[in-house]
Chain A
Amino acid sequence: MLESVTSSSVQPTAGDTTSRLASVFAEVLSLPEDRIHADLAPVDVDQWDSVGHVMLVAAVEQEFSIHFEVDEIMEFTNFQSILSAIDRRMTT
């Protein structure tokens, strides 16, 4: 899975975070991990509807022990955008 993610231009230094986030995606969206990549977006996944999106945000918050602000959540459009938000939180 991780190879698939990093091959789609995810920051190499974000490896552990990337792997944990991919695991959250796989579980919440019932996806095989080899389908997860940086550009993965709701249009690519049937289960990533509005309910799936809320579940995803909640699961990510729980996994990384953070609480996103509304301004951050509104920028979530794909895997990479959520990963970037986590990275920003972890470096501040």
Chain B
Amino acid sequence: MQEANETSPRALIGHLAGHARAKPSSLALAFGTRAISYGELWERVLGAADLLREEGVEHGDRVLLAAPREPEFFCAYFACHLIGAIAVPHEPDIAPAKMRSIIELIDPKIALTRRDGPPEVKCIPLRSTASTYAADLPQPDEFEGPNADAIADILLTSGTTGKPKGVILTHGNILAAARNINQFIGNTARDREAVALPISHSFGLGRIRCQILAGGALILTSGFQFPKEIFKAMSSWQATGFSFVPAAWVTLKRLSGERLGQFAADLRYLEIGSASMARADKEQLMRLFPQTRICMHYG
């Protein structure tokens, strides 16, 4: 694995700040027809951080965070890192009973939700993270980021064999993983990755972290039930990468045949994760994408 530069930021949020300083007009997020640059993303992260502080969130507090593939999630997620709070992403349309078990487990200070939440925790709308920012929050050129051993995220397991459990990740953990994966894939700042995965899960959130570390762009698309919308976004924003899990490939084939192959000349890489893939599916991808780097990692 490549060693981190001594002077490079200790946390992913520091790299985001660095991109905002070095290339503020470069594309960070594409969502529908909206383009959000690194400069704008940083401003919006500051706004979300200000909102969290107004709500009493402090260093070390846990923030339960709905995670739709929407810009507001990115603002809130990185705002947690900015102020030293711990982000706890969860699926955006979570059932009330599951929400309660998560609250019992996590004891969050606040929840940023898309729907009304349970009374056990103060809930504010995720969309309200798009506000103005206070002057005393750090600007990109004066920001160092949290310590590597500080807790950044708590990821929730699916709870398929019982109640969800929390997996603790430090800033150092997520930065090391993102560096390692980027080296494996060969991600660069020129990449634009289409993401249709749920980003409340480890793999989808990992793709976010990897692109932000590389200074590339994320194209946030509809879910896999809408392949036409995915392909439209990939075409409009000139995607160079696409990430999915094996089950999503099966879904995509059922709903769109081999249409993804139309992007064979444009996609520099495919990133597959989270589970093993059938040999026939791998061979099909190799046939459809003879010149694309097809990467797979999980476990």
* Contact indicator B228/A50 (Cβ below 8 Å): no
Task: Report if A8 contacts B (CB, 8 A).
Answer: no
Which stretch of A9-17, A32-40, A69-77, A82-90 is in the interface?
A: A69-77
A70 pairs with B257, CB closer than 8 A: yes
**For the complex, would chain B's binding face be called helix, strand, loop or mixed by DSSP majority?**
helix
Q: How many angstroms from the CA of A77 to the CA of B254 in the assembled complex? A: 15
- Name the B residues within 8 Å of A73 (CB-CB): 254-256
Inter-chain contact B93/A42, CB cutoff 8 Å: no
The reply to whether the CB of B251 lies closer than 8 angstroms to some CB of chain A is yes
Cβ of B93 and Cβ of A46 under 8 Å apart?
yes
Q: Determine if B255 and A75 form an interchain contact, defined as CB atoms under 8 angstroms apart.
A: no
Interface size on A, residues (CB 8 A): 15
* Chain A CB within 8 A of B248 CB: yes
What are the residues of chain A within 8 A of B184 when measuring CB–CB? none
Q: Which residues in B have their C-beta under 8 angstroms from that of A48?
A: 225
Measured between C-beta atoms, what is the minimum distance from A29 to chain B in Å?
Answer: 12
CA distance A48 to B259 in the complex (A): 22
Using CB atoms, name the residue of chain B closest to A56: B225
Closest chain A residue, CB of each to CB of B255? A73
Contact string against B for A residues 44-86, beta-carbon threshold 8 Å, 1 for contact and 0 otherwise: 0010111111100100000000000010011101000000000
> A57 touching B254 by the CB < 8 A rule?
yes
A53 and B228 contacting across the interface, CB-CB below 8 Å: no
* A54-B254 in contact given A49-B223, A74-B228 (Cβ < 8 Å): yes
How many residue pairs between the two chains, A and B, have CB atoms under 8 Å in the bound complex? 39
Instruction: Determine if B140 is an interface residue (Cβ-Cβ < 8 Å).
Output: no
Given known A-B contacts A42-B223, A74-B228, A50 and B257 have beta carbons under 8 A apart? no
Q: For residue B255, which residues in chain A have a CB less than 8 angstroms away from its CB? A: 53-54, 57, 70, 73-74
Residues of B within 8 A of A42 (CB): 223, 225-226
Shortest CB-to-CB span from A76 to chain B, Å, is 8
- The answer on a CB contact under 8 Å between B256 and A53 is no
Q: Is B289 an interface residue (CB 8 A)?
A: no
Q: Which residue of B lies closest to A51 (CB)?
A: B251
> Would you call B227 an interface residue if the criterion is a C-beta within 8 Å of the partner chain's C-beta atoms?
yes
Is B77 in the interface zone, CB < 8 Å from A? no
Q: Which residues of B contact A52 (CB under 8 A)?
A: 225
Shortest B219–chain A CB gap in Å is: 18
CB of B224 within 8 Å of the partner chain: yes
Q: Is the pair A70, B256 in contact by a Cβ cutoff of 8 Å?
A: yes
Assembled-state Cα–Cα distance A70/B93 (Å): 29
Question: Interface code B245-276, partner A: CB below 8 Å = 1, 0 otherwise?
Answer: 00110010011110100000000000000000
Nearest-CB distance from A53 to chain B (Å)? Answer: 4
Selected from A54, A70, A75, the residue in CB contact (under 8 A) with B251 is A54
Query: How many angstroms between the C-alpha atoms of A42 and B93 in the bound complex?
Result: 12
Q: Which A residues are in CB contact (< 8 Å) with B93?
A: 46
**Option from A46, A49, A74 in Cβ contact (under 8 Å) with B256:** A74
In whole Å, how far is B251's beta carbon from the nearest beta carbon of chain A? 5
Residue of A nearest to B254 (CB): A54
Q: Nearest CB to that of B226 among chain A residues?
A: A77
Give the chain A neighbours of B225 by CB distance below 8 A: 42, 48-50, 52-54
Residues of B at under 8 Å CB distance from A? 93, 95, 223-228, 247-248, 251, 254-257, 259
Q: List 19 A-B contacts (CB under 8 A).
A: A42-B226, A46-B95, A49-B223, A49-B225, A50-B223, A50-B248, A51-B247, A51-B251, A53-B225, A53-B255, A54-B251, A57-B254, A70-B256, A70-B257, A70-B259, A74-B255, A74-B256, A74-B259, A77-B226
